[in-house]
């Protein structure tokens, strides 16, 4: 592995909050999900739903991703435990205040 590849594996500093159109979002905040058009069937199903931010993640390119669970998901507790199928990722451009 070269030095750049090793740097990708290093832990990123945790993201405490993100500003979107002047609004600060943190883990635990309620948001309305607005996935971009042209996505998959889950984007269609999740459009307009209320989510709760489980965490803010930074990818290897430094872009912030919002991990959210659905407010009305009966398995929301599984999403909070980071289980697949109950936790969904959105860009900061795909959320708005609830």
CA 22 to chain centre: 18
Extract the residue ranges of the chain whose pLDDT is less than 70: 1, 5-12
Tokens describing residue 38: 């042209």
What pLDDT score does 11 carry? Answer: 65
What pLDDT score does 62 carry? Answer: 83
- HSE (side-chain half, CA atoms, 13 Å) at 72: 7
CA 18 to chain centre: 11
- Vertex 74: Cα angle to 95 and 91 (nearest 5): 20
For 41-64, write each residue's pLDDT tens digit.
888 999 999 999 999 998 878 899
Q: Which domains occur in the chain, in start order?
A: 3-97 (2.30.30.490)
What pLDDT score does 32 carry? Answer: 97
Tokens describing residue 35: 């996935």
For the whole prediction, is pTM greater than 0.85? no
What pLDDT score does 38 carry? Answer: 80
Q: How many CB atoms lie within 10 A of CB 70?
A: 19
């Amino acid at each position: 592995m070269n030095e750049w590849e090793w740097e990708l594996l290093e832990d990123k500093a945790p993201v405490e909050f993100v500003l979107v159109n002047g609004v600060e979002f943190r883990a635990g905040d309620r948001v309305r999900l607005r996935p971009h058009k042209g996505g998959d069937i889950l984007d269609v199903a999740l459009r307009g739903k209320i989510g709760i931010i489980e965490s803010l993640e930074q990818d290897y390119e430094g872009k912030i991703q919002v991990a959210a669970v659905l407010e009305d998901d009966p398995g929301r507790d599984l999403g909070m435990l980071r289980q697949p199928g109950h936790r969904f990722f959105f860009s900061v451009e795909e959320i708005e205040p609830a």
